[in-house]
């Protein structure tokens, strides 16, 4: 696709990878242009973008031979969702014109039942303005919260909480998929990662999983409290706070980590209050848009 003699768009190949990685690393470190779906690590960016090239999910826009913008997509066929990020150097081009060119390019040939999901920092006003111009649906903002170990005690270990026993794997899968039918990771995928990057802590009584939490290790002395969940029949009894405190204690004192982070929607006021009371602080705020 061409626009005039200067602006052109095409799918990326493995030969383009170094240029794309350098561009994504540079642009995504700027909050006013960043995307939450793009890593801040060069190594992680390379892995993600290489995976995108395998299914033509990565494209770039060039102006006078210079890369000025990229778009990357990750398709979930079961959920008819495509996680998408756009990174554009608006010092070199018109943001809206380039973003539309890239988005139109990757949308061609994709079933109209699919919708595109965008997560990016609230400082990225250009992306927000662009998606609003397309009448994209804005979901509640999400907060990224952070708890640092420092020199004080955090978390409370509970003898009633244990790592998920193998006997309960299927019950866990069913419960997780019931509570979070639309979350990005399924119960089966969590089980496949047990003992590797993920550890599941459970509160089990009367042969039933009443609450659980998932600790996602990231290999840099920092981990994510990825999931905190309580069975609907046992909510309002403080189980969420207990299982989160157990996860925090395990992260700091069993795994030797220095920080735990988590994500919470801005309209989930009860959960937000709980996390702030425990000691988490707001690290960043993201926008979320859905484009059908």
Q: Residue 4: its pLDDT value, please?
A: 46
Q: Would 156 be classed as within a structural domain?
A: yes
Domain extent for 26 = 2-135
In terms of domains, do 161 and 224 share one? yes
Token pair of 100, please? 């539309």
Q: Residue 231: its pLDDT value, please?
A: 95
Section 242-268 average pLDDT: 94
In terms of domains, do 239 and 273 share one? yes
Domain count, the chain: 2
In terms of domains, do 68 and 163 share one? no
Q: Residue 3: its pLDDT value, please?
A: 43
Section 267-287 average pLDDT: 93
Of all residues in the chain, the percent with pLDDT exceeding 90 is: 77
Of the residues 84, 102, 135, the one at which a domain ends: 135
In terms of domains, do 246 and 165 share one? yes
- The CA distance from 147 to 230, in Å, is 22
Q: Would 212 be classed as within a structural domain?
A: yes
Query: What is the domain-level CATH number for residue 198?
Result: 3.40.630.30
Q: Would 18 be classed as within a structural domain?
A: yes
In terms of domains, do 208 and 175 share one? yes
Work out the pLDDT band at 5, boundaries 50, 70, 90.
low
Q: Would 31 be classed as within a structural domain?
A: yes
Q: Would 201 be classed as within a structural domain?
A: yes
**By 3-state DSSP, what share of the chain in percent is helix, strand and coil, each rounded to 5?**
35, 35, 30
Of all residues in the chain, the percent with pLDDT exceeding 70 is: 98
pTM: 0.77
Section 219-229 average pLDDT: 91
In terms of domains, do 9 and 123 share one? yes
Of the residues 110, 135, 160, the one at which a domain ends: 135
Each residue's pLDDT tens digit, 70-108: 999 988 887 888 999 999 999 999 999 999 999 999 988
Q: Residue 136: its pLDDT value, please?
A: 96
Mean pLDDT score across all residues of the chain = 92
- The CA distance from 151 to 219, in Å, is 21
CA distances (Å), origin 144, targets 14, 263, 264: 33, 5, 7
Answer yes or no: are the C-beta atoms of 114 and 107 closer than 8 Å.
Answer: no
In terms of domains, do 211 and 115 share one? no
In terms of domains, do 152 and 206 share one? yes
pLDDT over 60 (residue 2)? no
Q: Residue 80: its pLDDT value, please?
A: 87
- Which element (helix H / strand E) includes 62? strand 58-63
In terms of domains, do 127 and 156 share one? no
- Which element (helix H / strand E) includes 161? strand 161-163
Token pair of 196, please? 């590797």
269-278 helix and 239-249 helix, angle to the nearest 10 degrees = 40
pLDDT over 80 (residue 250)? yes
- The CA distance from 21 to 41, in Å, is 10
pLDDT over 60 (residue 236)? yes
Answer yes or no: are the C-beta atoms of 130 and 291 closer than 8 Å.
Answer: no
CA distances (Å), origin 131, targets 23, 28, 95, 106: 22, 18, 11, 16
Section 231-238 average pLDDT: 92
Section 3-32 average pLDDT: 88
- The CA distance from 134 to 191, in Å, is 39
Each residue's pLDDT tens digit, 144-198: 999 999 877 788 899 999 999 999 999 999 999 999 988 888 999 999 999 899 9
Of the residues 106, 135, 164, the one at which a domain ends: 135
């Amino acid at each position: 696709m061409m626009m005039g003699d200067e602006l052109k768009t095409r799918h990326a190949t493995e030969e383009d990878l170094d240029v794309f990685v350098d561009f994504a690393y540079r642009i995504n470190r700027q909050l006013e242009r960043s995307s939450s779906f793009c890593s801040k690590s060069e190594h992680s960016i390379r892995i993600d973008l290489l995976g995108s090239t395998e299914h033509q999910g990565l494209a770039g826009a060039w102006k006078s031979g210079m890369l000025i913008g990229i778009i990357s997509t990750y398709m979930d066929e079961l959920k008819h969702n495509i996680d998408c990020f756009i990174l554009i150097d608006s010092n070199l081009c018109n943001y809206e014109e380039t973003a539309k060119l890239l988005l139109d390019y990757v949308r061609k040939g994709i079933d109209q039942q699919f919708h595109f999901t965008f997560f990016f920092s609230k400082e990225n006003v250009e992306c927000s303005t662009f998606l609003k111009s397309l009448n994209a649906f804005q979901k509640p903002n999400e907060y990224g919260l952070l708890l640092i170990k420092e020199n004080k005690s955090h978390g409370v270990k509970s003898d009633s909480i244990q790592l998920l026993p193998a006997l309960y794997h299927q019950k866990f899968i069913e419960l997780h998929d019931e509570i979070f039918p639309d979350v990005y990771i399924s119960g089966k995928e969590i089980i496949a990662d047990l003992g590797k990057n993920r550890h599941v802590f459970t509160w089990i009584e009367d042969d039933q999983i009443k609450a659980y939490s998932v600790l996602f290790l990231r290999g840099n002395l920092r981990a994510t409290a990825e999931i905190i969940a309580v069975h609907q029949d046992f909510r309002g009894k403080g189980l969420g706070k207990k299982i989160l405190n157990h996860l925090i204690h395990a992260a700091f004192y069993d795994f030797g980590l220095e920080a735990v982070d988590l994500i919470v929607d801005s309209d989930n006021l009860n959960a937000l209050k709980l996390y702030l009371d425990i000691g988490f602080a707001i690290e960043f705020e993201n926008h979320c848009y859905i484009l059908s």
